[in-house]
Chain A
């Protein structure tokens, strides 16, 4: 009997025991009707060939393991970043259950969002009644300061009109007339989660800024938006810290850094922190808005510019040059100098890179993730002397492809690289099998690639489900660069140790 009370074996150990192995063998041989181990091995080997790669890349309809999610997920993240705001998704309820659990698994935190639970009758008659009752119920139970409405694909396919519905709900007394309900249509069959984030953000900006006249402040005040960022908890804090060092008054527009990082002290806080309504109003007068993920914030940036404000689009400042560009942009907007303290941090990051560069130089990487994140990470790899090889972006835009190609062309370390817009992780599997690299950077979903192909995975991206607390450490700014550097180096050294355990090269000092 493999189990005992003294040493309890769970799934990780239990099923390796002979009693279970026998069961597996018997089940397979007698009842499963499979094609036998030899055939499976043969096909598995074939899936790693060039021939398979060609078949795989011919796919036009079938998508396998994409690295993207749908629009309303982004809308929920964006809405979570405003003070006292309840994300509300108009449409079928299953989606919201999924959005919430997706964020639960990534942040290991609660995620509050409601659905108005449209069902078959709403499919026929439209979801107006759901909106009328839903807003009333949500308002009564969860006492939000704002409700931010987005849509599931059901509501989009039947063509529900959010603006009209919200107005009617107000007329019917579901919520007070002056209650603020920013909204955005977020069809899941267009773009990805970053598109939905952008749409919702624009919804907030529109709600607060439309019809207002702008009077630019003389104070060194700017807005910063992080975009759909799995590291928002730590990154936003890091941004605030850097801005304080510079003497810049920065409003983070959509700041979920508190709500996704509340303490365990006996109290559940459904709402915590977030951009306030007052901040949003004042934000119109700021000197400009910096979008940390510019490609994914195209619509919001356009709106900001229309409102008469400067919009600066960056692409995830991971590392030295990215952070340099960020700070210089802020300095230019505000007239504030970059202080010695930040320059010191910069020097320390450069120092760390210099110490480790020999281990990084020429190492070949594959990466997948969101568009701006890939630009930021690629830029960092290039400045480390590493060589990005496959850069795969399922939710790429034309803009991304142009930018990443320009970035690669500008560095000798980018000459072997190829950008793969619109491809999925099954494509990446073929790339890794036929043109191997040393390391892979991406979300937890990359672990299957690591298992199948053997390329060590460095977890940077969204979602990170199978490692804890990574999101509590920033990846932006010089400090963030240091964190990313250490993540990469740890994997490099672990891999080297594993490779050299049986040899003289198992060095104590590396």
Chain B
């Protein structure tokens, strides 16, 4: 039997093995989310974007996390109010590492936890009055804030508050854009609906209120870099390449974005989308309503970077295409040096991925550039289109797990024994205890950036230090060997 067949058989057996432990009803449901990828199939053969089963320890979060944590929170010159009780905002306070430049608390409000801190009386009598007053107080303590968003937590939608009415009224009164977002955590099945709701709020409360007839000096090379949350500076190490190839980045977001930059989307000649999952909705809208095309690109690892830069350049004239080639050429030496240094240490190593809505496929190329192989992958909150797109990245026999439970992931890793597990903070310490090297792939494990050529060097260094750390040689006491 070939190695691939071997893996396939083992992976199928593994799936059966974990399913056996579930109660019957749950096993039936989970079976649809686990599969072994067959080459040539149009998707990964798993169902997705379905409710998590109760009690299974899903790794997913909620719509609030998708809106406040992902899409809106990084817009730096706005005050984002976690509207409801204190918890949600407290746990998501400055933990995502969406970097920004600015003076926190003065003209930027990123690494802050701003909340209406609901008390029992707010639940009983409603929170609209509190919200009304809170807006006035924001204008007093943060005079340079350029707008306010209301990020709804669970209770808001349950107690019948009318945050839209309050927002309209207060927006007029204080002369600032105010955006109510109905991202209560019980909506949808994961962060994903929160992304969607957040996108819709951009459409309804930013674009529809902006004046696109106002004069604007455009150039043929105007792009907006979107759906990059600037984790550890990702958007910056992307932007540098776009500028070098002659494009004018008139807006960037939502990482390190100002509200003004978000408004720029309809003004662009091309909308560049890094995280398709979280902002494809607004991209489609901008295309439909304003005729701006969009392009999903991937700046992980030199192979995909070159592909993406060429793909972007194809939307523009020859001068840009030429410059794109120059940029690729300029960085070839760096990438090659990185590969020469790290590939010998990493070649053949097996990686299991489990991330959010984009990276389960996007980072595959970067690993392959280093000679590594992804043997399992899955999305926390991917949809069918993500699993289709994933087929361009994964190999025959790859284990696919959608909305994996902690139990499943642990069992899979126990048997597969990957050389690297790449997932989130909730998983990190579990796998390290098992002696499996780990990197956090949401926060870049407090490192980054990983995007672009500059980021690839860091990515390679980090994977090397995770896998080749001497610590893994000490997990067993020598007298037990």
Contacts and interface: CB of A to CB of B under 8 A. Distances in A.
Interface string A79-123: 000000000100111110111111011001111111111111011
A493 interface: no
B341 interface: yes
Contacts of B256: 27
Contacts of B337: 4-6
Contacts of B77: 32, 34
Contact of A14 (B260, B405, B454): B454
Contact of A11 (B91, B99, B103, B155): B99
Interface string A123-156: 1000001110111111111100000000011100
B95 A105 contact: yes
B334 A3 contact: yes
Contact of B117 (A6, A66, A115): A66
B87 A69 contact: yes
Contact of B133 (A60, A110, A114): A60
A140 B55 CA distance: 10
A190 B155 contact: no
Given A39-B144, A130-B54, A189-B155, A97 B59 contact: yes
Contacts of B250: 31
Interface string B59-89: 1111111000000000001000000111110
A385 to B, nearest CB: 34
Interface in B303-331: 330-331
Interface string A19-34: 1100110011001111
A267 B434 contact: yes
A395 to B, nearest CB: 9
A140 B22 contact: yes
Nearest to B233: A11
Contacts of B471: 264
Given A33-B258, A44-B103, A117-B52, A69 B434 contact: no
A8 B457 contact: yes
Given A3-B453, A35-B144, A142-B407, A15 B236 contact: yes
A104 B159 CA distance: 32
A204 B291 CA distance: 61
A66 B115 contact: yes
Q: Which of A24, A129, A268, A465 has the most CB of B within 10 A?
A: A268
A271 to B, nearest CB: 13
B21 A40 contact: no
B448 interface: yes
A503 to B, nearest CB: 31
A110 B433 contact: yes
B197 interface: no
Contact of A108 (B104, B114, B429): B429
Contacts of A56: 141
A4 to B, nearest CB: 7
Contacts of B99: 11
A10 B454 CA distance: 8
Contact of A62 (B111, B116, B243, B334): B116
A423 B105 CA distance: 17
A88 B454 CA distance: 43
B186 A109 contact: no
Contact of A119 (B61, B111, B119, B188): B188
Nearest to A88: B55
Contacts of B191: 94
A112 B476 CA distance: 24
Nearest to B97: A11
Contact of B233 (A2, A15, A111, A157): A15
Contacts of A190: 119-120
Nearest to A158: B158
B93 interface: yes
Contacts of B345: none
Given A140-B21, A141-B405, A188-B85, A59 B137 contact: yes
A452 interface: yes
A39 B144 CA distance: 9
Contacts of A158: 158
B210 interface: no
A14 B120 contact: no
B470 to A, nearest CB: 13
Given A63-B116, A114-B57, A448-B111, A265 B458 contact: no
Nearest to A97: B61
A43 interface: yes
A264 B435 contact: yes
B144 A28 contact: no
Contact of B91 (A6, A102, A136, A187): A102
Contact of B144 (A40, A123, A263): A40
Contacts of A337: none
Given A98-B92, A123-B186, A141-B56, A265 B258 contact: no
Given A98-B88, A110-B433, A154 B54 contact: no
B140 A266 contact: no
A97 B325 CA distance: 44
A266 B56 contact: no
A262 to B, nearest CB: 6
A59 B130 contact: no
B57 A142 contact: yes
Contact of B87 (A61, A73, A130): A73
A119 B189 contact: yes
Contacts of B236: 15, 20, 23-24
Contacts of A266: 433-435, 475-476
Nearest to A25: B101
A138 B232 CA distance: 36
A426 B116 CA distance: 14
B49 interface: no
A70 to B, nearest CB: 3
A62 B458 CA distance: 40
A445 interface: yes
B23 A137 contact: yes
Q: Which of A39, A92, A187 has the largest count of B CB atoms less than 10 A from its CB? A: A92
A11 B137 CA distance: 35
B133 A61 contact: yes
A88 B57 CA distance: 9
Contacts of A70: 85-88, 90
Contacts of A6: 337, 341
A269 to B, nearest CB: 7
A65 interface: yes
A61 to B, nearest CB: 4
Given A40-B103, A157-B155, A69 B62 contact: no
A68 interface: yes
25 contacts: A1-B330, A1-B334, A4-B334, A4-B337, A5-B457, A6-B337, A8-B458, A9-B457, A10-B447, A14-B233, A31-B261, A59-B141, A62-B116, A62-B137, A66-B90, A70-B88, A70-B90, A92-B186, A104-B425, A115-B55, A142-B407, A153-B118, A187-B120, A192-B86, A448-B104
Nearest 5 A-B pairs (CB), nearest first? A94-B62, A70-B87, A134-B54, A134-B55, A98-B91
Given A110-B433, A123-B158, 13 more contacts: A1-B331, A8-B458, A9-B457, A14-B233, A23-B239, A40-B103, A65-B113, A119-B188, A129-B54, A137-B26, A190-B119, A426-B105, A448-B112
